[in-house]
Amino acid sequence: MVWGEELYFDSTKVDANASISSMINRIESEVEQHLEKLWENDEENTTPDSLQELVEKYNGERLKGTRKPTYKRITDEKISLTDPEAAPMRAQGGGSAVLGYRDHYIVDGGKSRIILSAMVAPASIMDNTPLLDMLDWTCTRWQLEPKIAVGDAKYGTEPNIVGLENCGIKAYLPIPDLTKRNEFYSPDLFQYDAENDQYICPQKQILPLWSRRKTEEKFVYRADAKVCDACPVKDQCTGSKSGRHIFRSFHQEYIDKVKAYHQTEPYKKASRKRSLWVEPLFGEAKDFHRLRRFRLRGLRKVNIEGMLIAAGQNLKRLIKTHIEKLCDFLQRMVFPPLSARPMTFSTACSLMRRGCTPISRASRLWLKPIGFKNSSSKTSPG
């Protein structure tokens, strides 16, 4: 039932079983927990499995990245005593914020739409963050070698693209267009000269390499400030007094490779397929398996609940597949092909007249007593 050639990623918001009004200052909570630990002897689990380690990694704490966070989250200062791992998020139907989680699915691209992995993380963890770790766990657990990975624009980050391409998996991920955040010229209008490692602006001016930002993994190309000040279209190009800047990633070749996928028919087909493969599974889980709101509390328990729901969805597809095979078997045994005629065991003569099929013969037997007119019968019913 598992194809293994294509993997589809998506996530959905699930409300937590806690009110956002239950959040208090995090410092007070940490002091209370510290006092409680002084009087308790905690036993550590020395043999955690890989999935448990994956869940513990995405417990809502900030992960190390190329950039330092420049903003504070609500969970950095406040915590809910009812469900400490739940994080504030925008309500699904709109309105005020609520506490919740994100349920992440990896779905196989086969006809059965089997859920290969399910993990619940706090709502403060972005959709794209656990993609590579979940992919590694799924391929290792089920011994898969997928060829493509499909997701929406939220997954089209540079680390995900580089990680997938390095694994030999085509990253069928849309890349967010961040060039429309302001009214200035888009970087796409600047031509890159690979031989001289420089950019050429629409006015044929050169932007040489100026610096390398290793923490952000970016090359910075900057034009001369005097040239930009004398340019007649500076107001449309930049508002910087030091000249126009162009940023180029260390992994630009991977980004260009993924952009080339966007023009191919397999990518367009996979994008259309994604909306039919993953999103209906979330709708099914919310309508029939109570995934709209978790009944349990705590990261470990909500993962148990989310895993049981995903397993139930897979069992339904397993049962459906076996029932279809059973029905096909019974249909072949009870209703033989129309071209075949039942014969007697002794004389091998046909039991029906010429031109009469098993279906029409059976229909005459139960339609005649009721009084319906059968088109295959030459005589009218009595």
Report pLDDT digits (tens) over 68-124.
666 677 888 889 989 999 999 998 877 889 999 999 999 999 999 999 999 999 999
Of 33, 115, 157, nearest to 315 (Cα)? 115
Token pair of 131, please? Answer: 């993609």
Confidence of residue 64 (pLDDT cuts 50, 70, 90): confident
pTM of the model: 0.78
204 three-state secondary structure: coil
pLDDT band at 38 (very low <50, low <70, confident <90, very high): low
Q: Could you read off the pLDDT of 209-237 as tens digits, one per residue?
A: 999 999 889 999 999 999 999 999 999 99
Q: Is the pLDDT of residue 375 over 80?
A: no
For the chain, the structural domain boundaries read 6-174+262-322, 185-252, 344-382
Biggest CA–CA distance in the chain, Å, is 107
Per-residue pLDDT, averaged over 180-203, amounts to 91
Q: Which residue has the higher pLDDT, 342 or 148?
A: 148
- Residue 47 is predicted with a pLDDT of 35
Q: Are 373 and 380 in contact (CB under 8 A)?
A: yes
Which whole number is the average pLDDT over 176-196?
88
Mean pLDDT of the chain: 84
The angle, 0 to 180 degrees and rounded to 10, between the axes of the packed helices 131-142 and 158-166 is 20
Q: pLDDT band at 360, cuts 50/70/90?
A: very low
